[in-house]
């Protein structure tokens, strides 16, 4: 659809500027079939343009490739030495040696956007421009909510390498004061709280909610905010960004995982690896930059052994490995259930034995159908010896699970599989015009 269509559409429905009343915001999330990464759809610039950004759960700053074709009548550079520039903790100031434009301006505050997949970074100009997303009452989209002074960074085109083909930048959802959730909450005086519901479907999007702790009403009338179990969000004192931000702690989301169970039986691992040491190593984090969960080698070995043993009790016999997975089973040998293939459950236990995230077959297994092969494979990968983060919970394990990040209470709410509620993350009414 043309930009003119969106302008007419916004004019018809009205645009809500920031007001003192609390406002909840939503955005559709698509899964890229090739990169197996997630994109969030927003509206940027003036006139507003539909814009797809890589969804990065732990990033500090949103960035957009504005080295070419960035046309907007409202963008502004941020002066060096301003209070806003100082709040970035980057201590970088740029001068322009090219034709002036969004990506080039004298005495302009700069930050370091980075690609979380390739681990490349660059120095780029910081900008302010208009961003808009639909409001919501928890059951569908409403009028557009406008943030006229959204802060982000330019980047260079090479920083898009490794991301989904259609994206032009990255949406940062980390704990930073300049992340997308933080700026939405500040603009609309809404709670510092957001929720993700990633869809496993390539064709049907999931959804993100910003500035609200609920309701989140999915078809057929299921309020998933009532299905949440809560655990503490903990802080890693040492960030792992390519460019250090003045010794700032990590803006990624870590949880206090204390044990892993397979079919209710704890696996034997070195518990100390589940804690974060003074150098920022160890612990468990959530990442939308990782397609499948990774476990430090010794944890992975114990986990796979336990899973294979429990699968044998279900009369499942493994087949040859199918890269990148080590454990696979013939699809014809596995029964299908409401929550996916019938395999041993995996519980991520957090502190109290009663607080656990249960992973069923829909999230633990990956269907492989190619070259005459039809198999289900265990969707966890070996993260290597001495991995910086012992356990990284990846996108596949988050799909069709509602995750709520409450930054005020410093807690994570999680639903386990919403398939148990006979709904999916693709079952929220986004409205066709907002996708």
Question: Mean pLDDT over residues 37-54, rounded?
Answer: 97
Nearest to 401 by CA among 325, 288, 256: 288
CA angle 124, 129, 132 (to 5 degrees): 125
Out of 91-100, 117-126, 187-196, 211-220, which region has the weakest mean confidence (pLDDT)?
A: 91-100
- Residue 288's alpha-carbon distances to 17, 18, 73, 174, 194, in angstroms, are 30, 29, 33, 11, 15
Asked: is 229-421 a CATH 3.40.50.620 domain? The reply is no
Q: What is the pLDDT, as a whole number, of residue 318? A: 92
- pTM for this model (two decimals): 0.93
Alpha carbon distance 297, 64 (integer Å): 36
pLDDT of 27 reads 97
Residue 8: per-residue pLDDT: 37
Q: Are the beta carbons of 87 and 178 closer than 8 angstroms?
A: yes
Distance CA 180, CA 172 (A): 6
- The β-bridge relationship of strands 63-65 and 141-155 is parallel
* Mean pLDDT score, 18-41: 87
| Cα distances (Å, whole numbers) of residue 87 to 11, 40, 48, 273, 293 | 35, 26, 27, 34, 33
- Tell whether the model's pLDDT for residue 69 goes beyond 90: no
pLDDT at 243: 77
The C-alpha R_g of the chain, in whole angstroms, comes to 22
Residue range(s) in the chain whose domain bears CATH number 2.40.70.10: 24-222, 229-421
pLDDT confidence of residue 14: 59
The per-residue pLDDT for 242 is 81
pLDDT in tens, 382-431: 999 989 999 999 999 999 999 999 999 999 999 999 999 999 999 999 98
The conformation of residue 45, written as its DSSP 8-state character, comes to T
pLDDT value at 311 more than 60: yes
pLDDT of 94 reads 77
Q: What is the dihedral of CA 97, 103, 107, 111, to 10 degrees?
A: -120
What does the pLDDT read at residue 246?
55
Residue 17 pLDDT: 61
Q: Which of 85-89, 120-124, 220-224 has the highest mean pLDDT?
A: 220-224
C-beta separation of 398 from 285 below 8 A: no
> What's the CATH fold of domain 24-222?
Cathepsin D, subunit A; domain 1 (2.40.70)
């Amino acid at each position: 659809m043309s930009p003119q269509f969106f302008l007419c559409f916004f004019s018809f429905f009205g645009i809500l500027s920031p007001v003192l009343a609390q406002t909840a915001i939503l955005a559709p999330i698509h899964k890229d079939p090739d990169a197996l990464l997630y994109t969030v759809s927003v509206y940027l610039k003036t006139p507003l343009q539909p814009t797809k950004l890589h969804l990065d759960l732990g990033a500090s700053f949103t960035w957009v490739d504005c080295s070419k074709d960035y046309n907007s009548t409202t963008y502004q550079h941020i002066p060096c030495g301003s209070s806003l520039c100082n709040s970035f903790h980057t201590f970088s100031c740029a001068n322009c040696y090219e034709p002036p434009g969004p990506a080039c301006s004298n005495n302009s505050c700069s930050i370091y956007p980075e690609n979380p997949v390739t681990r490349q970074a660059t120095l780029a100009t910081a900008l302010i421009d208009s961003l808009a997303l639909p409001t919501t009452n928890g059951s569908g989209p409403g009028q557009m909510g406008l943030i006229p002074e959204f802060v982000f960074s330019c980047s260079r085109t090479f920083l898009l390498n490794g991301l989904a083909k259609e994206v032009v930048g990255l949406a940062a959802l980390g704990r930073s004061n300049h992340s997308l959730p933080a700026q939405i909450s500040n603009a609309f005086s809404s709670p510092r709280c957001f929720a993700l519901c990633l869809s496993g479907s390539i064709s049907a999007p999931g959804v993100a909610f910003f500035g609200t702790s609920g309701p989140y009403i999915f078809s057929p009338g299921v309020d998933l905010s009532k299905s949440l179990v809560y655990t503490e969000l903990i802080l890693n004192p040492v960030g792992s960004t390519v460019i250090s931000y003045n010794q700032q702690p990590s803006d990624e989301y870590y949880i206090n995982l204390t044990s892993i169970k397979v079919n209710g039986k704890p696996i034997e691992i070195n518990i100390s690896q589940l804690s974060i040491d003074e150098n920022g190593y160890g612990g468990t984090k959530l990442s939308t930059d990782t397609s499948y969960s990774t476990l430090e080698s010794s944890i992975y070995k114990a986990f796979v052994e336990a899973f294979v043993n429990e699968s044998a009790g279900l009369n499942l016999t493994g087949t040859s490995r199918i890269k990148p997975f080590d454990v696979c089973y013939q699809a014809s040998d596995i029964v299908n259930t409401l929550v996916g293939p019938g395999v041993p459950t995996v519980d991520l236990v957090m502190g109290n034995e009663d607080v656990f995230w249960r992973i069923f077959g829909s999230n633990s297994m990956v269907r492989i159908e190619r070259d005459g092969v039809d198999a289900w494979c265990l969707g966890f990968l070996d993260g290597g010896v001495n991995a910086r983060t012992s356990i990284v919970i990846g996108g596949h394990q988050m799909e069709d699970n509602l995750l709520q990040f409450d930054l005020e209470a410093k807690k994570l709410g999680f639903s386990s599989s919403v398939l148990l509620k006979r709904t999916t993350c693709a079952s929220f009414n986004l409205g066709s015009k907002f996708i």
